[in-house]
Amino acid sequence: MVGCAWARCVVTTLSGRGLIVRGSAEVRTALLLLAALVTVALPSRSDTIYQVNDQGKQVVVQRDAIVISEDSSFVVYKHFELRDRRVEVVRLNKGSLPYIVQTANPNQRRQIVEVWKRFGYKATVTDSSGKASSVCDVYLDFYPPGGHGSLLESVPATTSFAVLLDNGSADDVEFSKIRSVEIQGDHLKLDLRTDKVEEGKYLMPTTQPAEVRFLGISDQYDPASDRVFDFAIPLARIKAISFD
């Protein structure tokens, strides 16, 4: 039995019955995903970043990554962030201690992308023309309106829909709780996995002029890309989203 005070959970292993995780749904999901990542994502399948500490020992900083660039000051890499359930870019300041990067070959990098796809949110997106696209590791991010300029770094990406409901209350609904979304302009109809339906207006997380986009990784994603997505569409051009 292993107690986890920070998560208020209990993990118990019973012979012949496998792993039993008690706690909130969020805790159970996180722990099971972590166990799966440890089992599936072997270090040999990806880039690994080490730091040499004061004692001269190599300490693993990040496994299961893909390094985008490296110079004398920074290592820039992307990896799957379990907490956010999406792929993210990290800019690591080398500081005074040396770092060592073990780089995988292109085939191994493709393998780690396939691992990322297993644990992010998956969805089928139908645009306003009726075209359907299957996308992995999906999330929402925010850009200047009209598709001009880079993303708004002051507004964090998210894997939830913030909605001002028709009854006057507000809700922030995680993708994990949603079966499907119907979209008409800024009006959303959320079909939840509890069989409850919520309707209302999408709430932008900023007062700046901004465009929300639905992003993710398609089957054509290039592991060598400096981006963490190759599928992007403004939310206003989406008719429906169905989550796996």
DSSP 204: P
**Mean residue pLDDT across the chain:** 84
pLDDT at site 6: 37
Summarize pLDDT for 190-215 with one digit per residue, the tens. Answer: 999 999 999 999 999 888 888 999 99
* Residue 150 pLDDT grade (very low, low, confident, very high; cuts 50, 70, 90): low
pLDDT at site 218: 97
| HSE-CB of 48 using CA atoms within 13 angstroms | 11
Q: Supply the DSSP string of 58-122, one letter for each residue.
A: EEEEEEEEEEEEE-SSEEEEEEEETTTTEEEEEEEE-TTS-EEEEPPPHHHHHHHHHHHHHHS--
* Residue 224 pLDDT grade (very low, low, confident, very high; cuts 50, 70, 90): very high
Question: Residue ranges of the domains in the chain?
Answer: 2-40, 43-118, 121-243
Lay out the sheet containing 18-22: strands in order across.
2-4, 9-14, 18-22
Rg, C-alpha atoms of the chain = 20
pLDDT at site 234: 95
CA atoms 44, 83, 229, 134: torsion sign? positive
Question: Using an 8 Å Cβ cutoff, are 75 and 67 in contact?
Answer: yes
176-185's contacts with Cβ under 8 Å and 24+ in sequence apart are: 176/29, 176/85, 176/121, 178/243, 179/242, 179/243, 180/240, 180/241, 180/242, 180/243, 181/240, 181/241, 182/239, 182/240, 183/235, 183/236, 183/238, 183/239, 183/240, 183/241, 185/236
Query: C-alpha angle 82/87/93, rounded to 5°?
Result: 95
End-to-end CA distance of the chain: 33
pLDDT at site 206: 86
Architecture of 43-118 per CATH? Roll (2.30)
pTM, two decimals, is: 0.79
Question: Using an 8 Å Cβ cutoff, are 60 and 49 in contact?
Answer: yes
Summarize pLDDT for 119-142 with one digit per residue, the tens. Answer: 999 999 999 999 999 999 999 999
* Residue 46 pLDDT grade (very low, low, confident, very high; cuts 50, 70, 90): confident
Question: Using an 8 Å Cβ cutoff, are 201 and 101 in contact?
Answer: no
Beta bridge partners of 86: 81
